[in-house]
Amino acid sequence: MAARLKVAVLISGRGSNLQALLDACADPAFPVEIALVISNIADAYGLERAKKAGVATQVIPHKGFPSREAFDAALDEAIRASGAELVCLAGFMRLLTKGFSEAWAGRMINIHPSLLPSFKGLHTHQRAIEAGVKLHGCSVHFVTPDLDDGPLIAQAAVPVLPADTEDSLAQRVLACEHQLYPMALRLIAEGRCKIEQGVVKIDGHAGGEQSILSPAG
Ligand code: GRF
């Protein structure tokens, strides 16, 4: 069997997306192995999830560093030491420096709870309700120095229902995130994603299918 792609997952909190990745990687046929989970928050629940799955964890508290550059240098060192070739951000609540983002360009991905480029940043579900959009969702994208701005790999859409609250909409999107993130990670591990002029092309997907992947498809 071909070697599995080693990844590091960066978290700050509950880690439900991390759990989706751990569950996917528990299948020996899944082409990815999680080498390390890093949290900047010592009591992030995601760390427990990683330990339960037998995956190495490391806490790197951002508060212990004099600058963003110094914190990112510590992240970089830990990731490289783990042997990870790809970084997955999964609810990691720190802005990354330009230097770090550029060092991992094309090798770092993020999941964001909106249909980018709409609703970058925080409070995406409330903002989607207030904007009156009828479709909302989540996106997996390559990370670039600008927040929530890199080439899109996969997206999943959900309806916004008239009675939705921020919480009900968040739950519907989160269920999609848990399917979409492993799906996107598999595409990368299989070497099927290429960035051409800022746009991700996916081998094996014909025409328009490549811009939106439904979790069911
Ligand atoms: C998710 O909604 C993800 O899209 C966003 O942060 C949240 C993290 O949730 N980037 P969890 O820690 O994975 O449960």
pLDDT in tens, 6-39: 999 999 999 999 999 999 999 999 999 999 999 9
Q: How many residues does the chain have?
A: 217
Average pLDDT over residues 148-171: 97
Ligand 1 site, residue 182, Cβ cutoff 6 A: no
Contacts of 185 (CB under 8 A, 6+ apart): 7, 21, 24, 32, 88, 109
Ligand 1 site, residue 148, Cβ cutoff 6 A: no
Q: Which CATH superfamily is domain 112-217 in?
A: Formyl transferase, N-terminal domain (3.40.50.170)
Residue nearest to atom 6 of ligand 1 (CA): 91
Distance 205 CA to ligand 1 centre (A): 27
Ligand 1 site, residue 75, Cβ cutoff 6 A: no
At 204, the pLDDT band (50, 70, 90 cuts) reads confident
**Domain spans of the chain, in order of start:** 1-104, 112-217
Which residues are known catalytic residues? 112
pLDDT in tens, 87-137: 999 999 999 999 999 999 999 999 999 999 999 999 999 999 999 999 999
CA–CA separation, 107 and 79 (whole Å): 12
Q: Which residue has the higher pLDDT, 204 or 130?
A: 130
Q: Any idea which architecture 1-104 has in CATH?
A: 3-Layer(aba) Sandwich (3.40)
CA–CA separation, 106 and 196 (whole Å): 11
> What is the model's pLDDT at position 213?
54
Ligand 1 site, residue 137, Cβ cutoff 6 A: no
Distance 125 CA to ligand 1 centre (A): 12
Average pLDDT over residues 147-174: 97
Ligand 1 site, residue 14, Cβ cutoff 6 A: yes
Atom of ligand 1 nearest to the CA of 170: 2
Is the pLDDT score of 168 beyond 60? yes
In the predicted model, what is the mean pLDDT of the chain?
A: 94
pTM of the model: 0.95
Distance 88 CA to ligand 1 centre (A): 12
Residue nearest to atom 1 of ligand 1 (CA): 91
Question: Taking phi first (over 0 means left), then psi (-120 to 50 degrees means alpha), and beta for anything else, what does residue 209 get?
Answer: alpha
